[in-house]
Amino acid sequence: IHLLPTPTPHRSLEMEDLAGAIRDLAALSTRLLLQLSGDGEKRNLAISPLSIHSVVVLLAAGATGDTLDQIVSFLGLSGGAAHAALASEVATLVFGRDAGVEPHIRCAVGVWVESSLRLRPAYADKVASEFKAAVRAMPFRENVEEARVEINRWFEDKTEGFIKDLMPEGHLDATLTALVIGNLLYMRGTWLDPFDPEYTLDGDFFLADADGSRVRVPFMKSTNDQCISCHPGFKVLQLHYESKVGAGGNHRFSMHIYLPDERDGLQALLREISSSGTAEFVARCVPAARGVEVGNLRIPKFKVSSKMDARDVLQGLGLELPFRFTHDWSEMIELAEPEPPLRVQNVLHECVVEVDEDGTMAAAATEADCDVGFSLYGEEPARVDFVADHPFLFLLRDADFYSSG
C-alpha cells in the first residue's frame, strides 16, 4: 500500500524539494522490497513504505548528531527538511479531505510517552502541528499491558479492524519503555469499472518455483477495454478507483499491476525498477488514458497480509545507529539528570491488502518504541492479454499529487 505521488517539475524551490523527496521515497520502496524478497523465503508480501517513512521522519525530528545524520542519509539525497515537509504534506492532504470524498483514505500519527516523563516542548509542538500527531501520556511503568492494549486498540479502531494486536503481549517493557511512535494508513476504494462477480472463476496461479507449482485461486474477469502498457519483459495494468471530489479530494487514485512475461520474472523486474530509478520508471510506464482492447483479462481476487519486525530490514539497509544506546535523542524527551541514553528497541510493521470485484481495502501500521538505557525507576498494442496467474507487483498511486504549480 503505497500512495505513490508523481514527481513533476515545479517552479518553486520548495516544490522541487518535495519532488526530490518523493523520488527518494519511491527508491526506498524498491530497496525495502529487494531486501525483504532477497531472504529466500517464498511468501506473499505487502508493505507500506509510506507508513515506515512517516515513523522514520518522526524519529528524525527528535534526533541529533550522528544518529540524525544517518537517518537523513537513509531517507535520501533530498535531505531531512524535504522529507519532513513531505510527511507533513501527506498528513495535511489526508486530514483536509471531506468525509464523502472517494476513495476513503485515513492517516493517523500517535505519540505515547511514559506518564512520568515529558516530551521536549519543541518536539511535542512539531509532531502535533506539522505531522498532526496525537500526543498522549501512557502509564507504561504502572500498567504496561493496559497501555499496550490501548495503543493496539487505537490502531484497530482507525483501520476499521484490519490491524489487530499489532504489538504482541510482552512487547513493551514496564521498566524500559519510554516512548512509542505510531503511524497508520487506511484506504477503501471502489473500482471505477467494477468486475462482475458472476464471471469470477477459480484457476491456476503459478508460483515462482522450478517445479511449476500452482495453487487454485478465484480470478476476476473483464472484457472491457483496459489501460495497459506493454514493455520489454512485462506489462502494466492500471485500474482506476472511483473518485468523488470534495475538499482535499482532487486526486485520482489507481492500482498499477506490473506483470512479468516470465512466471519467475518478478525478482528481475524489481532489480530493473531499482536500477532505472523507481519514480522515473513508474512515471515512464503509466498506461495511456485511452483503453486498449483486451483479449483475456484475469486478475486474482486476493487478500495479502504481512507482519514483520522491520528493525532487521532497516538495519540491513544501513540504518543502524537509532538502534544503539545514545544521547542523540536529547531533543525528543526530557529525562532526569544525568540523562540516560535512549535507543529504538523495535519497529513493527503490518500491512493488509484485500482486492475483490468491488475494489480495494488496505491498511498499514508502523510502530517504533524507544527504551532508556536503564530502568525507568531511576507505451499500447491493438489487443492485449493480461493474465496475472503468476507473481506480480502492485502499487497504489496518486496521479495528481504535486501535479500543479
Q: What is the CATH number of the domain that holds 156?
A: 3.30.497.10
Residues 221 and 89 in one domain: no
Which pLDDT value is given to residue 212? 75
57 occurs within a structural domain: yes
220 occurs within a structural domain: yes
Retrieve residue 128's grid coordinates: 502535533
Task: Report d(CA 200, CA 298) in Å as an integer.
Answer: 9
Residues 346 and 271 in one domain: no
Residue 179 CB neighbours (<10 A): 24
Which sign, positive or negative, has the C-alpha torsion 285, 289, 294, 296? positive
Say if residues 317 and 31 touch (Cβ distance below 8 Å).
yes
Residues 85 and 218 in one domain: no
Number of domains in the chain: 2
Which pLDDT value is given to residue 66? 96
Residues 6+ apart with CB under 8 A from 41: none
Q: What is the CATH number of the domain that holds 389?
A: 2.30.39.10
Task: Report d(CA 341, CA 329) in Å as an integer.
Answer: 8
Concatenate the DSSP letters of all residues of 41-88 into one string.
--------HHHHHHHHHHHHHT--HHHHHHHHHHH-TT-HHHHHHHHH
94 occurs within a structural domain: yes
72 occurs within a structural domain: yes
403 occurs within a structural domain: no
Say if residues 35 and 317 touch (Cβ distance below 8 Å).
yes
Range of the domain at 219: 197-302+381-398
Residues 342 and 278 in one domain: no
Record the pTM.
0.89
Residues 240 and 326 in one domain: no
Residues 133 and 165 in one domain: yes
Task: Report d(CA 402, CA 139) in Å as an integer.
Answer: 41
Which pLDDT value is given to residue 251? 57
- Read off the amino acid at residue 76: G
Task: Report d(CA 233, CA 247) in Å as an integer.
Answer: 41
83 occurs within a structural domain: yes
Residues 116 and 149 in one domain: yes
405 occurs within a structural domain: no
Residues 92 and 184 in one domain: yes
For the chain, 405 residues long, the average pLDDT of each consecutive 10-residue run is 42 69 92 81 86 96 96 95 92 67 88 95 95 95 96 96 96 95 94 95 87 90 93 94 66 88 90 86 87 91 94 95 94 85 96 96 96 57 77 77 43
Task: Report d(CA 401, CA 331) in Å as an integer.
Answer: 32
Residues 293 and 308 in one domain: no
Residues 286 and 359 in one domain: no
Residues 234 and 270 in one domain: yes
Integer-rounded Cα Rg, in Å, for the chain is 22
Crossing angle for the helix pair 65-75 and 13-37, to the nearest 10 degrees: 90
Residues 171 and 39 in one domain: yes
162 occurs within a structural domain: yes
